Amino acid sequence: MNYGALFAFALLAAALLLAGCERKMRIAVIPRTTGVMLWEAERSGAFAAARRHGFEIYWNAPTREDDVEGQIALLERVRKEHFDGVVLAPDQALALMTPFRKVLEAGIPGGVVSSPLPLPPQPGLRYILNDDEGTGRLAARRLGAMLNGRGSVALLSLDPNLLGLMAQVRAFETTLHGEFSSIEIVDRRLGAFNGAEVEQITGDVLRMHPGLGALVSFTAVATRGAYLALQRAKLQGTVKLVGCEQEADIIDAVARGEIDSIVAEDTYQMGFQAVEGIAAFLQGAASHPTVLLRPLLITKRNADSDEVKKALNFGWQSNPHI
């Protein structure tokens, strides 16, 4: 019997067994919610980066975008099970600051996407954010051109708990006052993630301001609510609607000319670069602590273009890797 060959075979088998049993690093990705274009594009980006590094992605989120307790519970699971990294799109800034900081203190690196937390960038914490000031400027300039520099506008879905959203609002107001001083903001309403509530609020705004020229909404949920309210009041085309954040049905309405425009976020790159940043940290490499991604204005002219479809990662539902 050839004992040398048998021993070599045994070593090879043991090595293969150990390789097969090696644990993959787990990265938790927690968007505001799931099943919508805005966050499914983030999912595609996170999975694309994970495949490059052999990571396993744990993808989970609350069923509602205002379920802060649900996100806190998921962060607690990440900490207790000691995941190798976490990516969070926070529902609220202040409420999630402490749970996220506890995750970092447990030695788990993290990426925050879309809207920031009141925590400074630090080793193990990277921000991949939408250029919120750019979003506000794009929306204001689109509105100014659409109203020919004159008229009135109401702002919907303001939420002081979302730092990114409020940065958009501030940039919108600053640009509007500086470049279109004859356009007046006549109403500002709270509420970001309850579509039925926004629909009701929009109806109230339309009754209070019968000569209103335009509405600006700062979340996809609110844009849908405002769109339905305009439909019911038979004011589509009379009162213009500019929205923020993308969703398939909203882009379809833009393509039909029923919504004037939306300003979209590059959430695919948010997911991709957040996971890449965690990989860099785990490998001891440097990465930029904060990355701002350029927003995209979508109008009837470009809604069906290949450029927009590529930028927003259309077709994520047929992605065989997810």
> Do the domains at 7-130+266-293 and 132-264 have one common CATH topology?
yes
Does domain 132-264 correspond to CATH entry 3.40.50.2300?
yes
Task: Report whether 216 contacts 153 (CB < 8 A).
Answer: yes
Cβ-based neighbours of 268, under 8 Å, separated by 6 or more: 41, 42, 44, 45, 312, 313
Nearest to 67 by CA among 90, 86, 38: 90
- Cα(149)–Cα(143) distance, integer angstroms: 8
Q: What is the pTM of this model?
A: 0.87
pLDDT in tens, 46-99: 999 999 999 999 999 999 888 999 999 999 999 999 999 999 999 999 999 999
**Of the candidates 24, 295, 15, which has an alpha carbon nearest to the alpha carbon of residue 164?**
295
Domain ranges of the chain: 7-130+266-293, 132-264
* Distance, CA of 43 to CA of 219 (rounded, Å): 19
**pLDDT of the chain, 322 residues: tens digit per residue:** 443 443 344 444 444 444 444 678 999 999 999 888 999 999 999 999 999 999 999 999 999 888 999 999 999 999 999 999 999 999 999 999 999 999 999 999 999 999 999 999 999 999 999 999 999 999 999 999 999 999 999 999 888 888 999 999 999 999 999 999 999 999 999 976 788 999 999 999 999 999 999 999 999 999 999 999 999 999 998 999 999 999 999 999 999 999 999 999 999 999 999 999 999 999 999 888 999 999 999 999 999 998 888 878 754 443 333 3
User: 228, 223, 211, 234: which is closest to 153 by C-alpha?
Assistant: 211
Compute the distance between CA of residue 169 and CA of residue 173 in angstroms, rounded to an integer: 6
Domain 7-130+266-293 falls under CATH 3.40.50.2300: yes
User: How far apart (Å, rounded) are the C-alpha atoms in residues 71 and 167?
Assistant: 22
Strands, sheet with 240-244, edge to edge from the N-terminal-most edge strand? 183-190, 151-158, 214-217, 240-244, 261-264, 296-299
